[in-house]
Amino acid sequence: MSSSNPGSPSATATSSSSASSFSSKAHSCIQALSSILSTVPSSVSSSSSLLHDPTVSSQISTLLRDPDSGSGDNNLCRWLYDTFHSPDPELKLVVLRFVPIVAGIYLSRIALRKSLAGFEAILLALYAHETTARDGQPISVNVPDLTQPSIYHEAKSSVKTQATELNLAVISPTLEPHGTMRSSRRARIVGVALELYYSKISQMPVSSKLEFCEFCDIWATGIQNKPSSSSSSKQKTILLPWELLQPSLRILGHCLLGAHKSKKLYEAASMATKSLYERSLHDIDAKAILATSSLLRLEKMALDPKLNVDHTEIDMSLAL
């Protein structure tokens, strides 16, 4: 599966020289990681194996959940920061894989007045990457008017208008550069990191998406819904402005209705969607209520066998 997003080049290296330089970068990355983690399996030798190896991911996740993990001198944060700045796009994917957990823990710890400079550095790096990639343009979507014909339908348009009647909806406004994390811009910066994560989500391993669902639960209701969670204490919810909520809803939509096959992810996404729906009722946020309630209804419909008839099934008659 190759990405066609112009913001980040295709995952396959183009020439042998860059391939070898990428693989040497991956090597030095893995080496640096070995000094931080307790074990790095020998099967991890390239950036894509680094992305998918479960032992490495679970060790990194555990270390990130450590109470003092986000400080400025934390070497894991340093490693993530350096790795993201590598020119190899696959190594960037490795860092993106941990966005849910970094963003989740960062936002939950804001009220605790701890030093979170390490996390902030990573999030600001992601934000800066997107700022450059978007080049001062907002991301907008045109909601078409069906009186104009399109490639999928015909219409009797009386006036040939030049597309001046575009109904442009801005779904992500222009990014201003931010060198430091100011509290009032925190939600936007983390939101942009989530948008970047979503743009690569088809390449993210399931474990990363499960972590996202887990944090959605915590953000929304403070209750961790993982059955195997060791701590059953209620955590604090966070402020969920639209800048955070919107990219989260897109990620959840993928986890719930995207064409993946993981039952575990589906269940986790279902719980996270319910949590966000309850939270949207609490905040009486009309847009969020509409979006989350529609996801819940769609989930129910997807499970209903009467609605999921296979129309491509063969006609069973034994007559010619």
Partner 1 sequence: MADDETPSQTQESSTAREFSANGTSMSTSDVEAKLDKGNIEEAESSLRERLSLNSEEARTLLGRLEYQRGNVEAALRVLDGIDLQAAIQKLQPSSQQAARLVLEGFYLKVKSLQKLGKFAEAAQDCANILDAVGRIFPQGIPDAQVESKLQEMISKAVELLPELLKQAGNYQEAMAAYRRVLLNPWNLDNDCCGRIQKAFAVFLLHSGLEAGPPSLGAQADGAYVPKNNLEEAILLLLVLMRKIHHGDIQWDPSVLDHLMYALSLCSQTPVLSKQLEELKPGVFHRTERWNLLALCCSGVGQNKAAMNLLRKSLHINERPNDLTALLLAAKICSEDSQLAAEGVGYAQRAVDNAKGVDEHLKGVGLRMLGLCLGKQAKVSSSDFERSRLQNEALKCLDSALSFEQDNPDIIFELGAHYAELRNLNAALRFAKKYIDITGGSVMKGWRLLALILSAQQRFTEAEVVTDAALDETGKWEQGPLLRLKAKLKVSQSRPMEAIETYCYLLALVQAQRKSSGPMKIDSQVEDDKVKEFEVWYGLASLYSSLSHWKDVEVCVKKARAMKQYSAELVHTEGFMHQERGEIQEALASYINASLLDPFYVPSKVRIGALLSKLGSNSLPVARTLLSDALRIEPTNRKAWYHLGMVHKDDGRLADAIDCLQAASMLEESDPVENFRSIL
Q: Considering beta carbons, is residue 44 or 186 the nearer one to partner 1? A: 186
Per CB under 8 A, 177 contacts partner 1: no
| Near partner 1 in 41-100, by CB under 8 A | none
For residue 267, the Cα-to-chain-centroid distance in whole angstroms is: 17
Q: Which region among 33-41, 74-82, 125-133, 172-180 touches partner 1 (by CB under 8 A)? A: 172-180
Per CB under 8 A, 268 contacts partner 1: no
Of positions 178, 207, 226, 262, contacts partner 1 by CB under 8 A: 178
Q: Which region among 36-44, 53-61, 79-87, 243-251 touches partner 1 (by CB under 8 A)? A: 243-251
Segment (H or E) for 103:
helix 99-109
Of positions 19, 174, 229, 264, contacts partner 1 by CB under 8 A: 174
Per CB under 8 A, 287 contacts partner 1: yes
Of positions 10, 58, 62, 294, contacts partner 1 by CB under 8 A: 294
Q: Considering beta carbons, is residue 20 or 157 the nearer one to partner 1? A: 157
Angle (CA) 186-191-193 rounded to 5° is 100
Question: If you ran DSSP here, which 8-state letter would residue 198 be given?
Answer: H
Per CB under 8 A, 14 contacts partner 1: no
Interatomic CA distance for residues 60 and 94, integer angstroms: 11
| Near partner 1 in 194-223, by CB under 8 A | 198-199, 201-202, 222
Of positions 13, 63, 223, 257, contacts partner 1 by CB under 8 A: 257
Per CB under 8 A, 258 contacts partner 1: yes
Per CB under 8 A, 114 contacts partner 1: no
Q: What is the token pair recorded at 95?
A: 């860092």
Q: What is the token pair recorded at 208?
A: 């990363």
Q: How many CB atoms lie within 10 A of CB 284?
A: 8
Kindly write down the DSSP assignment for every residue of 53-78, as one continuous string. -HHHHHHHHHHHHSTTTTSTT-HHHH
Nearest to 250 by CA among 302, 174, 191, 206: 191
Q: What is the token pair recorded at 108?
A: 């939950």
Nearest to 103 by CA among 40, 8, 181: 181
Per CB under 8 A, 289 contacts partner 1: yes
Of positions 143, 179, 232, 305, contacts partner 1 by CB under 8 A: 143
